[in-house]
Amino acid sequence: MITARIRQTSPPGLSDVVAISAGEDHCLAIRSDGTVTAWGSKSEGQIDVPANLRDVIAVDGGSDFSMALVADGTVAVWGSNDYGQADIPLGLTDITAISAGSHHCLALKSDGTVVAWGDNEDGQADVPADLENVVTIDAGDYYSLALKSDGTVVAWGSNISGETDVPEEATNIVKIATGYGHCIATRSDGTLIAWGFNFFGQCDYPAEVTNALFIAANGYSNLAIMEDGSVTAWGYNEDGQINVPYGLTDVIGVSGGYTHSMALRSRATQLQPGLFCSADGVVSGVPIQFGTNTVTFQVRDYYGNIAEKTFEIFVEAVPVTSSGIPIWWLQEYNLATDGSDDFVDTDGDGHSNFEEWIAGTVPTDPASVLKIESFSYDPVESGFRIRWRSVPWKRYIVERGIAQGGSIVFEVLAADIASEEDFAEFADADEPESNAVFYRIRTRLPK
């Protein structure tokens, strides 16, 4: 039995996304304000987005580094620099497109020429001297691909699997994509062509994939956005990377890492009964419902053999009121489940039931408040240190009060303290000039 909750795998609150890119084990997203959000592996700092990065119009993830194209035509790179991939060539400007390989970078200039840097062990950064009139670039693992304005494709770098042996019939090309040793391209008539490594069937594209709006290659598999906004995927699937969620529609962008895939939808939607709850392997096209589901996974191993496995997956439904309070919580304290009690102060402690839910306190007990676990004073290092019991996903506000004229005047010291497992703490190193100091902890309410 596998027990799972429906949950989003992107960072909570991520919205207004206009573009995405998947690195080998990390993800990048551009928001409408030109900032970048990153998550996933940070082994080499590939998700440590530079604090001053703004006005980004394109991103791409490499093996363990990330690239960004800024609106002024400059490029930013962060993460691993083992092969000089973060050493941006001096004077690199007028860039219109970027692409990240495993350990090398490509940049397309406004004059149709290409600049490359980083790992060059297989010649992947040796741009052909006569290459010009380029309109699209894509960096593979250890090779590079360029699409010219006449619809022809140029490839250079590693050719261990025939990835740089561009077929003669690759003409009138309008889109290109590179994987690990294989390439796919779309012709102007909507048909596909693929070449290179094909051990996992990544070059055996489905017959129904025509007139694809967008194509992407990830590791040893591929993704295509169809005219109806759905996604088709094929190739290697050891980690479920071609495991397209059931009911996924309205897709306007896809990208794939080595073992995962991403999709950008044209509008935000929440998972609900009938949508697919993802797990490893290929699920046999059956909608996942709340409760217990029996599904069959088809898993392809390294040698291309397919095995079927059947599992039971339990998906827990968590009904809530219009303000977001779970029904089970209201029932536990005998409160109305229709929302009428959500903003009532049941225990008369000055906090509504909604605030009590957010704080993790008991709505029927006026003595139930945020509990201080410890309070200490260190005049040399940290000053006053407060530690309190907390809820892992909630955030807290700490205020300090000074007695003035018979009352206590509070000021906010910190407004966004995250919980660490089951506790949170704050150190007030700025010792106030007063004989009586008060501290108050409140839960930060959602916006």
In the prediction, which pLDDT does 441 show? 77
Closest CA to 182 of 150, 129, 138: 138
Confidence at residue 7, expressed as pLDDT on a 0 to 100 scale: 31
Q: Which of 22, 72, 77 is nearest to 49 (CA)?
A: 77
Q: Give which of 53, 57, 8 is closest to 30, Cα–Cα.
A: 57
Q: 2-313: what fold? A: Methylamine Dehydrogenase; Chain H (2.130.10)
Query: Would you say 101 and 64 are in contact if contact means Cβ atoms under 8 Å apart?
Result: no
Instruction: Please check whether residue 404 is in contact with residue 398, taking contact to mean a CB–CB distance below 8 angstroms.
Output: no
Which residues of the chain are under the pLDDT cut of 50? Answer: 1-8, 267-285, 299-304, 446-447
Residue pointed to by tokens 């506000």: 397
- pLDDT, residue 412, reads 84
- The residues near 407 (Cβ < 8 Å, ≥ 6 apart) are none
Whether residue 287 contacts residue 278, with contact meaning beta carbons closer than 8 Å, is answered with: no
pLDDT at 406: 66
CB 255 within 8 A of CB 20: yes
Report the C-alpha gap between 180 and 76 in whole angstroms.
24
pTM recorded for the entire structure: 0.61
Using CA atoms, how far apart are residues 1 and 19, in angstroms rounded to an integer? Answer: 37
Q: Which of 375, 371, 238, 204 is nearest to 306 (CA)?
A: 238
Nearest C-alpha neighbor of 19 from the set 71, 70, 63, 56: 56
Q: How far apart are the C-alpha atoms of 97 and 422, rounded to whole Å?
A: 45
pLDDT recorded at residue 4? 29
* CB neighbour list of residue 210: distance below 8 Å, 6 or more residues apart: 190, 191, 192
Give dist(CA 231, CA 250) in Å, integer. Answer: 9
Are 107 and 101 spatial neighbours (Cβ–Cβ below 8 Å)?
no
pLDDT value, residue 79:
96
Q: How far is CA 217 from CA 77, 249, 313, in A?
A: 22, 19, 30
CA 109 and chain centroid, separation: 28
Question: What was the pLDDT predicted at 32?
Answer: 84
Q: Is 354 helix (H, G, I), strand (E, B) or coil?
A: helix
